[in-house]
Amino acid sequence: MIIKLEKVEVQSRKDMEMIDMTADVDRVVAASGVRDGIVLVMTGHTSSGVLVTEGVECLERDVLAHLERLAPKQPPEGTYGYWHNRYLDSDGRVGFNAGDHLKSILGGVSCFFPVENGVVVRGSRQRVYFIEYDGPLARTVLIQVIGQ
């Protein structure tokens, strides 16, 4: 059994951003020598995500805008508040990114694909995205291949 884990560094440049990681996933699988197995992709951060969707720029904008609608950084005036937006002893500062953690939960933090004959089995429209909700930051995405 072959097991290869690569930690890919990603630098987000905006507060919220979708970064296409598909080429990285393909590269790690090709380098692993795995013919048949799976590849797993995961973010190492709780205000970011990993998800699978179609790779067009207009849809990237829709995904970011819609997750902000569903889990806003600031709740609409006069509605609700976030408990996390208070002084946190553990951080020595006021928490501010509750909405970004919530986006991370809604959009998901990981994905996987089968590998067959050395190739990632991916639908023709499917792309793998790292999604930043709380940037810009230096981030780590885990890509792991398991197989034979």
Degrees, nearest 5: CA angle 72-135-19: 100
Binding of a copy of itself by 73 (CB under 8 A): no
Q: Residue 139 CB, nearest distance to a copy of itself (Å)?
A: 9
Task: Return the number of the residue (23 or 106) whose C-beta is nearest a copy of itself.
Answer: 106
Q: Total residues contacting a copy of itself (rule CB under 8 A)?
A: 62
SS3 for 88?
Answer: strand
CA distance 121 to 40: 12
Report yes or no: 146 and 38 within 8 Å, Cβ to Cβ.
yes
Which residues, at least 6 apart from 9, have a Cβ–Cβ distance to it below 8 Å? 138, 139, 140
Footprint of a copy of itself on this chain (CB under 8 A)?
1, 3, 5, 36-38, 40, 42-47, 51-54, 56, 58-59, 61-63, 65-66, 69-71, 80, 82-84, 86, 88, 90, 95, 98, 101-102, 104-114, 116, 121-123, 125-126, 140, 142, 144, 146-148
